[in-house]
Amino acid sequence: MLDSMYGAVELGLLYSLMALGVFITFRILDFPDLTVDGSFATGGAVAAVLLSNGYSMWIAMIAAFLAGTVAGACTGLLHTKGKINGLLSGILMMIALHSINLRIMGKPNTSLLDIEPMFSSISPIWVKLIVMAVCILVIKFLLDAFLRTDMGLALRATGDNPRMIRSFGANTDNTKMLGISLSNGLVALSGGLIAQQSSYADISMGIGMIVIGLASVIIGEAIFGARTVFWATLAAVLGSIVYRIVVALALRVEWLEASDLKLITALIVIVALVLPSARRAMKQKSMAKKRSAQLTAEASKTPTPTGGAR
Amino acid sequence: MLELSNVSKLFYPGTPDEKIALFGINLKLNPGDFITVIGSNGAGKSTLMNVISGVMTPDTGHVKINNSAITHLQEHQRSRWIGRVFQDPMAGTAPHMTIEENLAMAYSRDKSRGLAFGVTARRRKLFYEQLGRLNLGLEKRIRAKVGQLSGGERQALSLLMATFTKPQILLLDEHTAALDPSRAELITRLTESIVREMKLTTLMVTHNMEQAIRLGNRLIMMDKGRIILDVNEERKKDLTVAQLLGEFEQISGHKMTDDRVVFG
Ligand SMILES: Nc1ncnc2c1ncn2[C@@H]1O[C@H](COP(=O)(O)OP(=O)(O)OP(=O)(O)O)[C@@H](O)[C@H]1O
Ligand SMILES: [Mg+2]
Domains and CATH numbers, chain A: 2-254+261-293 (1.10.3470)
- Cβ < 6 A, ligand 1 pocket: B 11, 19, 21, 39, 41-47, 258
Tell me the ligand closest to B15's alpha carbon. Answer: 1
- Closest partner CB to B116 (pick from A150, A166, A168): A150
Q: What count of other Cβ atoms lies within 10 Å of the Cβ of residue A133?
A: 18
C-beta of residue B187 within 8 angstroms of C-beta of residue B152 = yes
DSSP letter at A202? Answer: E
From A215-219, A257-261, B23-27, B78-82, the region with the lowest mean pLDDT: A257-261
Residue B120 counted as domain residue: no
Q: How far is A143 from chain B (nearest CA, A)?
A: 12
- Largest alpha-carbon pair distance within chain A? 101
Residue B104 counted as domain residue: no
C-beta of residue A270 within 8 angstroms of C-beta of residue A281 = no
**Domain range enclosing B79:** 2-93+169-252
Nearest-angstrom CA–CA distance, B2 and B168: 9
Chain segment B79-110, per-residue pLDDT in tens = 989 999 999 999 999 999 999 999 999 999 98
HSE at residue B27, side-chain half, CA atoms within 13 A, is: 34
From A20-24, A174-178, B230-234, B251-255, the region with the lowest mean pLDDT: B251-255
Residue B55 counted as domain residue: yes
Nearest-angstrom CA–CA distance, A263 and B70: 55
Chain segment B141-154, per-residue pLDDT in tens = 999 999 999 999 99
Q: How far is A165 from chain B (nearest CA, A)?
A: 8
Residue B203 counted as domain residue: yes
Residue B76 counted as domain residue: yes
Residue A229's alpha-carbon distances to A115, B24, B38, B108, in angstroms, are 37, 49, 43, 21
Q: For residue B23, give the nearest of B34, B37, B13, B35 by alpha carbon.
A: B13
Please count the residue pairs, one from chain A and one from chain B, whose beta carbons lie less than 8 angstroms apart: 88
The total number of structural domains in chain B stands at: 1
C-beta of residue B177 within 8 angstroms of C-beta of residue B157 = no
- Rounded to the nearest 5 percent, the helix, strand and coil shares of chain B are 35, 25, 40
Check which CATH number belongs to the domain holding B241 and give it.
3.40.50.300
Measured N-to-C along each axis, helices A86-105 and A57-80 cross at an angle, to the nearest 10 degrees, of: 150
Nearest CA to ligand 1 atom 29: B42
Confidence of residue B176 (pLDDT cuts 50, 70, 90): very high
Residue B162 counted as domain residue: no
Contact assignment for A150 to B80 by CB distance below 8 Å: no
Q: What count of other Cβ atoms lies within 10 Å of the Cβ of residue A142?
A: 10
Residue A275: the pLDDT is 79
**Gap from CA of B225 to ligand 1 centroid (Å):** 9
How confident is the prediction for chain A on average, in pLDDT? Answer: 92
DSSP letter at B107? Answer: H
| Identity of residue A245 | I
Residue B30 counted as domain residue: yes
Residue B212 counted as domain residue: yes
DSSP letter at A303? Answer: P
Nearest-angstrom CA–CA distance, B139 and B129: 8
ipTM of the complex: 0.90
Q: How far is A29 from chain B (nearest CA, A)?
A: 12
Q: For residue A182, give the nearest of A146, A135, A153 by alpha carbon.
A: A146
pTM of the model: 0.89
Contact assignment for A156 to B79 by CB distance below 8 Å: no
**Residue of B56, B74, B76, B127 best to disrupt the A interface, most CBs of A under 10 A:** B76
Q: For residue A168, give the nearest of B4, B171, B107 by alpha carbon.
A: B107
